[in-house]
Structure 1
Amino acid sequence: MKNLLKLSDCSIEYINKLLDKSELCKIGKYDNSCINKIVVNCFFEPSTRTHYSFQVAQEKLGCKVINFYPHDSSILKGETFYDSIMVFDSYSPDALVIRSNENEYYKQLLNKVHCPIINAGDGTKDHPTQSLLDLLTIRQEYGKFDGLKIAIVGDIKHSRVAHTNIEVMKRLNMDTYISGPSEFKDESYKYIDFNTALSEMDIIMLLRVQHERHSTQMKLSKKEYHEKYGLTKERVALMKKHSIIMHPAPFNRGVEIADDVVECEKSRIFKQMTNGMYVRMAVMHEMIGE
């Protein structure tokens, strides 16, 4: 595959191949075919986990990494997103990793850019590597996907993580639900009451409220949100015995998740972050290695 833009473009067989390759990267089984390959990370939105796990992944593979920071570039002089990307394309890199707040930003670049594009998140649409690391975490926990029940709780409407995960999880025969405030609901997905979900789901995946994507202020205060939809110790006690808690992060302590739940026994939040590095190693190797 030349690019990784949307997980919906990938077959289940290919997704499993990437997950298998991620497991190999975890135990150090990868060749040196990425050494000295030039990769440019272009993040037009703030990022901690995605940006720096990509960079660590690239450096572990031996790549030469260039990080583009829009706030320190000719973007401030009026240069467009497209022209900025074409600047780097003119230097013949081996891959571009791009994040933008524009949905499907990559459409203007296809048949223009001469190297693989890896989508590190576009607007509210897709986040393929986040979904892959979520799937890897779930597979490590349960050894399967078929029949598992997951509730994704929070700001569904503005979450590229939710949209990407629900699409692929349905194809993997997972029973997927959404929960949270009605103002963030997407009517095309099955809804479940939050407190009901706690006792029925195998996985509770929390999302932060993405205020930066809202055109109007959230109806609930942070305190009210926590009271109605926050995962507290008391609510964790209602969860199934072998259920787990996930969150793509960044998380807001005291809003969607209580401070003492972030690293509780059921939490796999930091494991997701570790898996993100291995998934991104696998994706980079798939795109520019061998």
Structure 2
Amino acid sequence: MPAYRHRHLLGIEGLSAADLTLILDEAEQWVSFNRGLRKQDDRLAGLTQINAFFENSTRTLFSFEIAGKRLGAQVANFHVAASSVKKGESLADTALTLNAMRPDVMVIRHEANGAAADVAAVMDCPVINAGDGTGEHPTQALLDALAIRRRLGKIEGVKVAICGDIRHSRVAGSNLKSLPLLGAEVRVVGPPSLLPDRLPEGVEGFTDFDQGIAGADIVMMLRVQRERMAAALSDSLGDYHALYGLTRERLEAANPSAMVMHPGPMNRGVEIDGALADDPQKSLIVEQVELGVAVRMACLDLLTRERRGVTA
């Protein structure tokens, strides 16, 4: 049985192409499993999974909860609004408290960059980063890669244009590491104020939207994250949709068979036209959500194998 050689999943940084491919391959079995009528496996039976989400979430939180339950785990969701965090308890003390309850795997989302790594340093169980500030969101990048591979049959050589608020996006942060590692040709597109100061080697940046998506096989749109911006920057964006919003007409600049992706939540009529997002012939958005459960099942399985005494 293949082995994942890392204790945690804190980001794409530090993983190899083989590591990523292992997770994608393991996720494949769960795609068909999740499409069946009965969705219950007991390999995590008796294990406790804590989902500690310090930020709001729909897709990531519920897919991790569903993933854990379908694998048989005891799943506990940590609700910040009803916790001692509201009384001023530090992240470190919260982590120590949760660790004392002896969980077997912990999933954390937090608004601070590096929070998942800080928590992993004090936890006795594997930790999965479900998004840290503007840093990384590794399972989103993995499900994006799986969606591309399943639809196009490969990742290597695929031209991917990631468009929008690159600077503040942890989704972009992880995809800019994972997709090139898997052989994709990646470019970023957005207003100068929303592009990062530095791009990874081999990734080209564009401020002209039509030029940036020209010939792309995948056009991945990102939400404008106003909650992570200074007010002045947010207010200066002007008519964002006119300059950087994806419509069916603008998609014609891409490869004729190009597919559209978005990690959600979407601002319809801002970064993407709603009708295009809902078109199953051109959009992978719903499939991304579906595959998120399979990828997270694979991650939970792989990271707990050592604790369960499962050897390669």
TM bin (shorter chain) = over 0.9
- Which of 293, 299, 307 is the equivalent residue of 1:283? 299
- Which of 237, 251, 271 is the equivalent residue of 1:220? 237
Moved more, 194-203 or 244-253: 194-203
SS of residue matched to 1:92: coil
- Give the aligned partner of residue 191 of structure 1: 205
- Give the aligned partner of residue 252 of structure 1: 267
The one-letter code sitting in structure 1 at the alignment partner of 2:240 is Y
The 2-side partners of 1:66 and 1:117 are apart by 14
Q: 1:149-228 to 2 correspondence within 5 Å?
A: 149-189=159-199, 190-192=204-206, 193-217=208-232, 218=234, 219-221=236-238, 224-228=239-243
Cα drift, residue 93 of structure 1: 0.7
- Which of 6, 18, 26 is the equivalent residue of 2:31? 26
Confirm or deny that 1:242 pairs with 2:257: yes
Over 4 Å off, 4+ runs: none
Moved more, 60-69 or 182-191: 182-191
The 2-side partners of 1:213 and 1:225 are apart by 17
Cα drift, residue 53 of structure 1: 0.4
- Give the aligned partner of residue 7 of structure 2: 2
- Give the aligned partner of residue 287 of structure 2: 271
The 2-side partners of 1:41 and 1:32 are apart by 19
- Give the aligned partner of residue 143 of structure 1: 153
SS of residue matched to 2:33: coil
- Give the aligned partner of residue 66 of structure 1: 76
What is the total number of aligned residue pairs between the two structures? 288
The 1-side partners of 2:269 and 2:218 are apart by 20
The one-letter code sitting in structure 2 at the alignment partner of 1:158 is H
The 1-side partners of 2:300 and 2:74 are apart by 12
The 2-side partners of 1:31 and 1:237 are apart by 44
List gaps (5 residues or longer) in structure 2: 1-5, 35-39
- Please say if residues 109 and 116 of structure 2, whose CA atoms lie closer than 8 Å, have aligned partners that are also in contact: no
Cα drift, residue 115 of structure 1: 0.5
- Give the aligned partner of residue 55 of structure 2: 45
Confirm or deny that 1:92 pairs with 2:102: yes
TM-score of the aligned structures, taking structure 2 as reference length: 0.88
Confirm or deny that 1:102 pairs with 2:112: yes
